Amino acid sequence: MANEDKVLEALLKEDRTFPPPAYFIEKALVKDTSLYEEAKKDREAFWAKQAENIDWFQKWDKVLDTSNAPFFKWFVNGKLNVSYNCIDRHLNTWRRTKAAIIWEGEPGDDRVLTYQDLYREVTRCANVLKELGVRRGDRVTIYLPMIPELPIAMLACARIGAPHSVVFGGFSAESLRDRINDCQAKLVITADGGWRRGGIVPLKKNCDDALAECPSVEKVLMVKRTGQDVNFVQGRDYWWHEMMARAPIGCEPEHMDAEDMLYILYTSGTTGKPKGVVHTTGGYLVGVSTTHRMIFDIKDDDIYWCTADIGWVTGHSYIVYGPLANGCTTVMYEGSPDWPERDRFWAIVEKYRVNILYTAPTAIRAFMKWGTEWPGRRDLSSLRLLGTVGEPINPEAWMWYYKYIGNERCPIVDTWWQTETGMILISPLPGVTTLKPGSATIPFPGVEAAVVDNTGKDVPLGSGGYLVLKSPWPAMLRTIYGDPDRYVAQYWSRFENMYFTGDGARWDEDGYFWIMGRVDDVINVSGHRLGTMEIESALVDHPAVAEAAVIGKAHEVKGQAVSAFVTLKEGFQGTPQLIEELKAHVVKKIGALARPEDIFFTAELPKTRSGKIMRRLLRDIAEGRVLGDTTTLADPSVVAQIKQQYESQES
Ligand code: PRX
C-alpha cells in the first residue's frame, strides 16, 4: 500500500441531510445536546445517573472497576433482579393493566399480555423450572419459535438466577447440540414445532436429534404450538401447559449481583466454533433500558415493534429486556414478512397502530424488491419513528424506507452495535441529530468510539480505518463463556487498551461514523483498499437493482478485481446492456477504481440466518474453490444454485 496509514479508502459521497422535524423535536424526550456534554465531563457519573432508573435491592459501591481490565465490572456489589425490573415494579403503577407484549402468530392468531399477565406467567414458569431441578447458576437452553412463551421463559430464568442461552429456531440439530454442550445446559425448553411460511419447523425433532449427544441435559420442557405428533420421552420430557397449570403464581426474585451472568448468546466466529458471548445483570439492564428509551424516544402510549427474532441479540435487548424494563408495549410477530402476502409487516403496523418500527436493511431491501404497492395498500400513518440495525444501510435503501414507509415524516435511527456490545453504541438521537442516509451518525452519550489506523492512532476526520471503543460501556460482554483467553485475544489484543470491533469505518468532516462492514470484507484493487459496502451502495443506487454483494476476485494485475453479484427488482432483465450501464453507474458514483470487472445476476444472495450477506462463499464461487462452511446459511440451496449458474456461464 502506498500509504500504510490509509486503512480504507472512502470514496462514496453522500450529501443529503435530514434535521429532526420541528413536530418531532417538540415532543422528544431528548431535545438538545446537553446529555452529550454531561457524559463527556464525567462518563461514570452519567451512567450512574442512568442506573437510578433501575430498581436495586442494594445500591452499588462503585460504578466501574477497571482493576482487572479487560475484565471490567460495573455497579460493583449492586444487587437487583432483571425480571423484577421488567415486571414487578410496574405492578404498583397504572401500567399493571398496560399491554406488555402484543403477539401475533403467523397463522393470524394473536395474544395480548398485560404486565399483570406477564407476572402470572413468568412466576409460574419460574416455579416450573424449580420443580424440574433448575437452580441458581444452572444454564437453560431455550429453542423456541417467536411465541410469548419465549420471553416468559427468559424472564423466568432471570427470576431464579439461571442464565439462559437462547438458540435461534432456524438453527439445525447440530448447531443446537454444539451450543448446549458448550454451556452444559441442564434443561432445554422447546416446542413441538414453529410456523414458517405456512409450514412447520420441526423443533422437537431437531431437539431430540441434538440430545442424543448432550449428556448434560436432564429434562426437556415442551410448548405445544403446532400440534403435530412428536416423540415424547417419559421421565425426560414435560408438557409446558400441564406443568404451568399445576404451578403456583408468585415466586420471590433472586437477589442477583450486578455481575452475575444473565445470559449467554452464541455468535459465529471466524474459526467456525461459536463464541458464547456472556452478558451480566446490572450494567446490561442499565445500558439497554437507557438506549431503548432515548434512541426510540419511548413514551407511555407508544406501540413499539422490533421485527428481529429473539434468537438474536437485537431481540434480547430491544424486544424483551430494554422495552419491558421501560414499561413499554412491545410487539412480537412469529412469522415471515411475506406470509400470506408481501404486506404482512404493513398489515401488522396498520392493525396495531404501531408507532415505532425497528427492522433490518436486509428486510428493507426485500421490500424494495417487492415494490411499493405492498406498503401502499396499508395505513402506515401511525408510524412516527423508524430504526435499522444489522448491516450498513445503503443510502438508497435508507431513502426508500424514509419515503415509502415513513412518508417523509419519520426520522430514521440507524443503530450500530454488536452481539458483544449488548446495547446500541452509535446512533442518532431522533430529536437532536441531523441524519445522513447511510451513516449511523455519532456515539451515544457516554460511549467513546473512534476510527484508528494500523498503529491505533486516530485517523484524521474524513478518512477511514478500524472502528474501536476506547472506554468500557455498561452492557459490554464480560467474557467468552469458558474461554477468557479468546475474549482477550479477539477483542483486546489488536490495539492496546481498546476494544476492537472488527469493523471498518470512516468518520467524515462532521465526525459522523460511516460503518463499512467487517474488515475482512475489504477489497484491495491495485493497492487501494475499498469497502465492499460502498460499491454495493453504488449498485443499489441504480433503479434496476434490489440488492448487491461485492467481492474481490484474484486478479493478475490488480491483485484483486471487483466482482459483483446482483439481484434485480421485479420487472427488470439482466441484459448485457444493463451490465454496461451498472458498471458505468459505479464509475460515476465512486470512480474508475471501483468499476466491477464482472457482474453476475442472481435471483437470491446467500445469507446467514440473521440476514447478513455471506461474501466469503461468493468468493469461493468466483475463484472456483470448494465451498467453505455453509452451515450458518439460511438456505444452503441458494449458494449451490449460484455456483452452478456461475460455472455454466464461465464455461
Ligand atoms: O458489522 C457490523 C454490523 O453487524 C455486526 C454485528 O453483528 P451481530 O453481532 O450479529 O449484531 C447485529 C445486531 C446488533 C457489526 O459488527 N452492523 C450492525 N449494525 C450496523 C452494522 N453495520 C452498519 N450499520 C449498522 N447500523
Instruction: With a cut of 80, say whether residue 521 has pLDDT above it.
Output: no
Query: Cα separation of 228 and 448, whole Å?
Result: 51
Annotated binding site: 196-199, 314, 390-392, 414-419, 503, 518, 526, 529, 540, 542, 545
pLDDT band at 544 (very low <50, low <70, confident <90, very high): very high
Which of the listed residues 288, 389, 426 should we mutate to test ligand 1's pocket, taking the one with most ligand atoms within 8 A of CB? 389
Instruction: With a cut of 80, say whether residue 558 has pLDDT above it.
Output: no
Q: What is the pLDDT of residue 6?
A: 53
Tell me the residue type at 400.
W
Could you read off the pLDDT of 154-179 as tens digits, one per residue?
999 999 999 999 999 988 888 899 99
* Closest Cα to atom 24 of ligand 1: 392
Which of the listed residues 365, 393, 416 should we mutate to test ligand 1's pocket, taking the one with most ligand atoms within 8 A of CB? 416
Instruction: Give CA 331 to chain center in angstroms.
Output: 16
* Closest Cα to atom 7 of ligand 1: 418
Compute the average pLDDT of residues 348-371: 95
Q: What percent of the chain has pLDDT over 90?
A: 80
Query: Cα separation of 503 and 467, whole Å?
Result: 6
Asked if residue 308 has its Cβ within 6 Å of ligand 1, the reply is no
Most confident segment among 133-137, 500-504, 603-607? 133-137
Q: Which atom of ligand 1 is nearest to the CA of 388?
A: 26
Asked if residue 518 has its Cβ within 6 Å of ligand 1, the reply is yes
Q: What is the pLDDT of residue 8?
A: 59
CA-to-CA separations, 602 to 472, 545, 561, 569, 582, in angstroms, rounded: 43, 11, 19, 11, 15
pTM (whole model) above 0.95 = no
CATH superfamily of the 522-650 domain: ANL, C-terminal domain (3.30.300.30)
Q: Which residues of 10-46 are buried (b: 16+ CB within 10 A; e: fewer)?
A: bbbebeeebebeeebbeebebeeeebbeebeeebbeb
Q: What is the pLDDT of residue 625?
A: 85
Asked if residue 422 has its Cβ within 6 Å of ligand 1, the reply is no
Q: Which atom of ligand 1 is nearest to the CA of 610?
A: 10
Strand 187-191 relative to strand 513-518, pairing: unpaired
Could you read off the pLDDT of 622-632 as tens digits, one per residue?
888 888 777 77
Q: What is the pLDDT of residue 7?
A: 58
Q: Which residue has the higher pLDDT, 129 or 366?
A: 129
Query: Cα separation of 564 and 515, whole Å?
Result: 20
Q: What is the pLDDT of residue 83?
A: 98
Asked if residue 419 has its Cβ within 6 Å of ligand 1, the reply is yes
β-bridge mates for residue 469, sequence order: 449, 499
Q: Report the 10 Å Cβ neighbour count for 283.
A: 30
Asked if residue 417 has its Cβ within 6 Å of ligand 1, the reply is yes
How many A from CA of 579 to the centre of ligand 1?
30
Annotated binding site for ATP: 390-392, 414-419, 503, 518, 529
Could you read off the pLDDT of 25-40 as tens digits, one per residue?
999 999 999 999 999 9
Which of the listed residues 270, 319, 365, 391 should we mutate to test ligand 1's pocket, taking the one with most ligand atoms within 8 A of CB? 391
How many A from CA of 416 to the centre of ligand 1?
6
Q: What is the pLDDT of residue 48?
A: 98
* Closest Cα to atom 25 of ligand 1: 416
Residue owning grid cell 412466576: 123
β-bridge mates for residue 414, sequence order: 388
Q: Are 145 and 191 contacting, i.e. CB atoms less than 8 angstroms apart?
A: yes
String of DSSP letters for 100-113? EEEEE-TTS-EEEE
Q: Which atom of ligand 1 is nearest to the CA of 417?
A: 14
Candidate from 88-97, 164-173, 492-501 with smallest mean pLDDT: 164-173
How many A from CA of 578 to the centre of ligand 1?
32
Instruction: With a cut of 90, say whether residue 524 has pLDDT above it.
Output: no
Compute the average pLDDT of residues 56-70: 98
CA-to-CA separations, 607 to 514, 518, 613, 630, in angstroms, rounded: 22, 15, 4, 10
Instruction: With a cut of 60, say whether residue 90 has pLDDT above it.
Output: yes
CATH code reported for the domain at 22-447+472-495: 3.40.50.12780
Q: What is the pLDDT of residue 386?
A: 98
For 294-330, give the secondary structure using H, E and C: HHCCCCCCCEEEECCCCCCHHHHHHHHHHHHHCCCEE
Q: What is the pLDDT of residue 356?
A: 98
Mean pLDDT, rounded, of the chain: 93
Instruction: With a cut of 80, say whether residue 454 has pLDDT above it.
Output: yes
Tell me the residue type at 480.
I
Q: Are 85 and 288 contacting, i.e. CB atoms less than 8 angstroms apart?
A: no
* Closest Cα to atom 4 of ligand 1: 390
Compute the average pLDDT of residues 220-245: 98
The ranges of the chain annotated as CATH 3.40.50.12780 are: 22-447+472-495
Compute the average pLDDT of residues 599-612: 88
CA quadruple 246, 248, 252, 254: dihedral, nearest 10: 0
Query: Cα separation of 73 and 280, whole Å?
Result: 10
pLDDT band at 180 (very low <50, low <70, confident <90, very high): very high
Asked if residue 390 has its Cβ within 6 Å of ligand 1, the reply is yes
Instruction: With a cut of 90, say whether residue 331 has pLDDT above it.
Output: yes
* Closest Cα to atom 6 of ligand 1: 418
Q: What is the pLDDT of residue 5?
A: 44
Q: Which residue has the higher pLDDT, 556 or 491?
A: 491
Q: Which atom of ligand 1 is nearest to the CA of 502?
A: 16
